[in-house]
Structure 1
Amino acid sequence: MSSHFQLSPELDRNKVFLVKCSELEGRMDANTYHPKRTNAIRKIINSKYSHQKLGLISTFSKIITSSIIDTDIYVGLENIESDTGVFIESSKKETISSAAIFTKGQVLFPKLRPYLNKVFYACFSGICSTEFHVLDSSIVANKFLAYFLSLDVVVIQTSLLMSGNTLPRLQTEDIKNLLIPIPPKEIQTQIVAKMDTAYAIKKQKEAEAQRLLDSIDDYLLDELGIELPEQEENTIQNRMFTRQLSEVSGGRFDPNYHFNIELITGHSANFEFIKLKDIIKYLPQYGANEPAVDGIRDCGIRYIRITDISENGELNNNSWKTAATIEDQYLLHYNDLLFARSGSVGRAYLHKDITEDSIFAGYLIRFIIDEAAANPDYIFFYCHSVIYKLWVNAIYRPAVQANINAEEYKSLPVPLPPIEKQTEIANHITKIRNQAKTLQQQAKAELEQAKKEVETMILGADEKKA
Structure 2
Amino acid sequence: MAEIFTRKFSEVSGGRFDAEYYRDEFVKLEQTIQAKTSLKLSDFIINISSGATPDKKEAWKYYTEDKKSGIPFLRVQNIKPDTTISSDFIYITKETHENMLKRSQVFENDLIITITGRLGTAAVAPKGFIGNINQHSVVIKTKNLQTSQALATFLNTSIGEKLSIRRATGGTRPALDYKALKSIPIIYNETIYHIIEKANQLALQKENKAKELLDSIDSYLLEELGIILPLRANSTLDSRIYTQKISALSGSRFDANYHQKYYRDLEKSLLSSPYPLVNLASLINNFKKGIEVGSSEYSQNKEIPFIRVSDITNNGIDFDNVQKFISASLFENLKAYKPKQNELLYSKDGTVGICLEADVSRDYIISGGILRLELKAEVDKDFLCFLLGSYMINVFANRVSIGAVIKHLNIGEFLNLKIPLPPLAIQTQIANRLKSSKFQALNLEKEAKEILNKAKIDVETLL
| Interval containing the TM-score (normalised by the shorter chain) | 0.7 to 0.9
What whole-Å deviation, never above 9, does each CA across 1:397-447 have from its counterpart, x for those lacking one?
345642223312211211101111111111111111121111111111111
Separation of aligned partners in 2, 1:140 and 1:340: 40
Change (3 A) 1:133 1:386: closer
What whole-Å deviation, never above 9, does each CA across 1:86-115 have from its counterpart, x for those lacking one?
112355324662232455334223333353
- 8 A contact 1:121–1:142 mirrored in 2: no
Match of 2:58 in 1: none
Q: CA RMSD in A?
A: 3.4
Residue from 441, 447, 454 that aligns with 2:452:
447
Separation of aligned partners in 1, 2:33 and 2:301: 32
Match of 1:364 in 2: 370
Which segment is superposed worse, 80-89 or 138-147? 138-147
Which segment is superposed worse, 440-449 or 307-316? 307-316
Residue from 264, 267, 281 that aligns with 2:266:
264
What whole-Å deviation, never above 9, does each CA across 1:268-311 have from its counterpart, x for those lacking one?
112111111111223x333335336345989x655433233225
Q: CA deviation at 1:117?
A: 1.7
Match of 1:342 in 2: 349
- 8 A contact 2:76–2:118 mirrored in 1: no
- 8 A contact 1:302–1:356 mirrored in 2: no
- 8 A contact 1:82–1:116 mirrored in 2: no
Match of 1:7 in 2: none
Residue from 358, 361, 377 that aligns with 1:355:
361
Match of 2:116 in 1: 112
Match of 2:78 in 1: 80
AA in 1 matched with 2:453:
E
AA in 2 matched with 1:86:
T
Q: CA deviation at 1:336?
A: 1.1
Matches within 5 A, 1:131-146: 131-137=137-143, 141-146=147-152
Change (3 A) 1:250 1:54: closer
Seq. identity, %: 25
Question: TM-score, structure 2 length as denominator?
Answer: 0.81
Higher helix share: 2
Separation of aligned partners in 1, 2:442 and 2:318: 13
Match of 2:220 in 1: 219
AA in 2 matched with 1:407:
G
Q: Are 1:45 and 2:34 counterparts? A: yes
Separation of aligned partners in 1, 2:20 and 2:77: 29
Match of 2:326 in 1: 322
Change (3 A) 1:442 1:39: farther
Give the match's secondary structure for 1:380. Answer: helix
Match of 2:4 in 1: 16
Separation of aligned partners in 1, 2:229 and 2:154: 48
Separation of aligned partners in 1, 2:453 and 2:277: 46
Separation of aligned partners in 1, 2:450 and 2:106: 31
Give the match's secondary structure for 2:21. Answer: helix
Give the match's secondary structure for 1:128. Answer: strand
Change (3 A) 1:209 1:63: closer
Match of 1:151 in 2: 157
Matches within 5 A, 1:410-449: 410-449=415-454
Residue from 160, 169, 194 that aligns with 1:163:
169
Change (3 A) 1:133 1:422: same
Match of 1:100 in 2: 104
Q: Are 1:379 and 2:384 counterparts? A: yes
Q: Are 1:56 and 2:58 counterparts? A: no
- 8 A contact 1:111–1:133 mirrored in 2: no
Change (3 A) 1:388 1:16: same
Which segment is superposed worse, 324-333 or 207-216? 324-333
Match of 1:3 in 2: none
Which segment is superposed worse, 235-244 or 88-97? 235-244
- 8 A contact 2:123–2:152 mirrored in 1: yes
Question: TM-score, structure 1 length as denominator?
Answer: 0.81
Give the match's secondary structure for 1:180. Answer: coil
Q: CA deviation at 1:123?
A: 3.6
Give the match's secondary structure for 2:140. Answer: strand
Separation of aligned partners in 2, 1:452 and 1:141: 21
Match of 1:309 in 2: 312
Runs of 5+ in structure 1 lacking a partner?
1-10, 459-466
Separation of aligned partners in 2, 1:54 and 1:376: 51
AA in 2 matched with 1:53:
K
AA in 1 matched with 2:9:
C
Change (3 A) 1:414 1:313: farther
Give the match's secondary structure for 1:17. Answer: coil
Separation of aligned partners in 2, 1:102 and 1:261: 37
Query: Which protein shows a greater Rg?
Result: 1
Change (3 A) 1:266 1:172: same
- 8 A contact 1:58–1:138 mirrored in 2: no
- 8 A contact 1:313–1:347 mirrored in 2: no
Which segment is superposed worse, 92-101 or 146-155? 92-101
